[in-house]
Amino acid sequence: MGLAKYKFSDLIRLSDKRNNELFYGIDNVRGISIQKIFIETKADMDGVPLHSYFIVYPDSFAYVTVTSRNGEKITLAHNTTKDTYIVSSSYIVFYVKRKDLLLSDYLFMYFNRPEFDRYSRFHSWGSARETFSWEEMCDIEIELPSIDIQKKYVNIYNAMVANQQSYESGLEDLKLVFEGYIDKLRKMQKQESIGQMIELVENRNDSLKYGIDDVRGVSIEKKFILTKADMSGVVLKPYYIVQPDEFAYVTVTSRNGEKISLARNNSGKNYICSSSYIVFRVSSVERLLPSYLNMYFERSEFDRYCRFNSWGSARETFDWNEMCEVKIPIPDMNTQKSIVEIYNSYLKRKEINEKLKSQLKKLCPILIKGSLEEAGA
């Protein structure tokens, strides 16, 4: 069957259809992530005129030309839904004009590879910010197998996508079950302040038993992470020791994207953290499971609560007294264990789902290579 070489300019066409008649509104506005999917916009759309927004019809593509702020990736997506979106006029919108030569899904597989991210970054130009222009896009040369071979490899990819999406749907069902448990608990169970069940821990690294390798920071994802600070010459004696099942958090909440940096040590070893952190533990383990408390800390509503109850001028902080005032429903231990089991099951499945998504990304270069090799055989 062989391979045929084309320039993108022979295969794709710019779409400049605007939302002049305001047929599409706020609910149709989309942004694009570096994961190459359309997402609900994070921009404040209050008062933004939508006349100039570009229309992205089903089976069309859109991308952001700026590549210098995206972690070496280009922000691009393919509208595989039956819905029509609108995007900022700063985006480039295009579609495949020669569908007799190129399948849109095959083109997306081509885009959804690290090689294309690298190519677009290398061919981006500018001083204040680097952009990958439409002209650069059109200048790309691509070798194409026949439509039949493209279909074969696209079908493999789409089957994998369907499998991942099915798994994700089950994940959302499990989340609904979990949220239902929590809502029911709120209505039936008295809210209690956690201050009577937690206590400060101020065990310092006086003997220097723990060193640089044991230093941890805390992320807004509620995890202990390897410290990003320059530890050269830092004295570790004042650092707090964080034992398994103990918590640590950063009081400052005004620089974290509306989240609090907090984590539970769920490892089997001790960490040390800066003395600017607050370290605490559950003192009444017969009434409150650390894992149950941590589940509440990981919820977005807790982040909102912390931000609302943070105080200060130069920087806002959520201090220990405010932490002690936090109220949660505290059911019997068996109920706590059951809820934690459901929550942990959800987290595990969520982790597997992210791995499936990662595998899809890794699959694209393999499929493109396979299609080219089959056509060239």
Q: Which residues pair with 31 in a beta bridge?
A: 39
Question: pLDDT class for 173, splitting at 50, 70, 90?
Answer: confident
Residue 1 has pLDDT above 70, yes or no: no
Residue 319 — pLDDT band, cuts 50, 70, 90? Answer: very high
pLDDT digit string, tens, across residues 54-70? 999 999 999 999 988 77
For 192-199, what is the mean pLDDT? 95
Give the residue with greater pLDDT, 91 vs 355: 91
Tokens 């007294």 locate to: 321
C-alpha pair distances (Å), 12 with each of 111, 144, 330, 367: 13, 14, 59, 21
Mean local confidence (pLDDT), 357-376:
90
Helix spans in the chain (H)? 104-111, 114-122, 134-138, 147-188, 290-297, 300-308, 320-324, 333-376
- Cα 39 from Cα 196, distance rounded (Å): 42
C-alpha to C-alpha distance for 29 and 41, rounded to whole angstroms: 6
Higher pLDDT, 230 or 319: 319
4-144 classified as CATH 3.90.220.20? yes
Q: Would you tell me how many other CB atoms lie within 10 Å of the CB of residue 24?
A: 17
Residue 86, pLDDT > 70, answer yes
- Cα–Cα distance measured from residue 36 to residue 63, given in angstroms and rounded to the nearest whole number: 9
**Summary mean pLDDT of the chain:** 92
90-114: average pLDDT: 96
Q: Which CATH superfamily is domain 190-330 in?
A: DNA methylase specificity domains (3.90.220.20)
Nearest to 145 by CA among 103, 97, 96: 103
